[in-house]
Amino acid sequence: NAGVTQTPKFQVLKTGQSMTLQCAQDMNHNSMYWYRQDPGMGLRLIYYSASEGTTDKGEVPNGYNVSRLNKREFSLRLESAAPSQTSVYFCASSERQGLYGYTFGSGTRLTVV
Amino acid sequence: DAKTTQPNSMESNEEEPVHLPCNHSTISGTDYIHWYRQLPSQGPEYVIHGLTSNVNNRMASLAIAEDRKSSTLILHRATLRDAAVYYCILFYNQGGKLIFGQGTELSVKP
């Protein structure tokens, strides 16, 4: 099915390790987003890319970097993971700057021990 | 970004209508009203959006007050699969980003 694909679905890291979360969409959307969701909380925007070649900080960017590799792919990197980054990470994409809705992936559940 | 206020939780009976309220007294003229829902262990899902007029789609209806300071998401016949957290979000059309609040957790009783 068309949509947003996130890999991996689950990951356990040790404090200080690095990893990259991958996201790809096949809907030809211009804009892509990374969110995190802590238990019992709403989603918080980490970074977004309004179009290919641009990235901007969201509400909680500290400790993360992003790369908009091409129109389809938007990756999120944790350079030195911390327990506070234990969360579920969602990638999303949209066209028309999101007016007609965002499409979300199914999430990556990350635990940092 | 303008703020919205929603009840923390609501209960409904299966096959009955559900009215989910949202207050947004500081809404500006360029803000669209978006609704998303998040089923357990899934990513959020777009439900509906509107600007001034009431809107209907296959999932729900959106009723917007004349002064736009509040809106109501209407599920016409709740099913058990509608149990989710529903988010009301004000979205600025030109370069806006979805900023999620706490949402309303809807439970549906058989």
Q: A108 near A7, Cβ under 8 Å? A: yes
Cβ contacts of A50 on chain B, cutoff 8 Å? 95
Given an 8 Å threshold on Cβ–Cβ distance, is B49 in contact with A101?
A: yes
Q: What is the mean pLDDT of residues A48-64?
A: 93
Structure tokens at A85: 């980054």
Q: What is the per-residue pLDDT for A11?
A: 97
Q: What is the mean pLDDT of residues B33-48?
A: 94
Distances (CA, A) of A45 to A60, A62, A80, B66: 6, 11, 20, 31
Strand partners, B72: B21, B63
Q: What is the per-residue pLDDT for A91?
A: 97
Q: What is the mean pLDDT of residues A49-73?
A: 94
Closest CB to B87: pick one of A42, A97, A105. Answer: A42
Q: Which pLDDT band, with edges at 50, 70 and 90, does A25 fall under?
A: very high
Cβ contacts of A103 on chain B, cutoff 8 Å? 46
Q: Is the pLDDT of residue B71 over 90?
A: yes
**Pick among A43, A48, A51, A100 to test the B interface (most B CBs inside 10 A):** A43
Q: Is the pLDDT of residue B1 over 60?
A: no
Q: What is the mean pLDDT of residues A40-50?
A: 91
Q: What is the mean pLDDT of residues A106-110?
A: 97
Q: What is the per-residue pLDDT for A101?
A: 87
Given an 8 Å threshold on Cβ–Cβ distance, is B99 in contact with A59?
A: yes
Q: What is the per-residue pLDDT for B95?
A: 66
Q: Is the pLDDT of residue A79 over 90?
A: yes
pLDDT in tens, B80-106: 999 999 999 998 766 677 888 889 999
Please state, in angstroms and rounded to a whole number, the distance separating the CA atoms of residues A89 and A45: 10
Q: Is the pLDDT of residue A1 over 90?
A: no
Cβ contacts of A43 on chain B, cutoff 8 Å? 44, 98, 100
Q: What is the per-residue pLDDT for B93?
A: 66
Structure tokens at A53: 């070649």
Q: What is the per-residue pLDDT for B29?
A: 87
Q: What is the per-residue pLDDT for A105?
A: 96
Q: A53 near A67, Cβ under 8 Å? A: no
Amino acid at B12: S
Strands lying side by side in the sheet with B61-64: B18-23, B70-75, B61-64, B55-56
Q: Does B92 touch chain A (CB under 8 A)?
A: no
Q: Is the pLDDT of residue B2 over 70?
A: no
Cα atoms in the Cβ-side hemisphere of radius 13 Å centred on A77: 7
Strand partners, A44: A36
Please state, in angstroms and rounded to a whole number, the distance separating the CA atoms of residues B53 and A82: 46
* Least confidently predicted of A53-67, A84-98, B59-73, B85-99: B85-99
Closest to B100 in 3D by CA, of B22, B17, B20: B22
Q: What is the per-residue pLDDT for A99?
A: 77
Amino acid at B53: S
**Pick among B46, B62, B88, B94 to test the A interface (most A CBs inside 10 A):** B46
Distances (CA, A) of A59 to A64, A106, B16, B69, B99: 12, 21, 38, 25, 9
Q: B46 near B34, Cβ under 8 Å? A: yes
Q: Is the pLDDT of residue A65 over 70?
A: yes
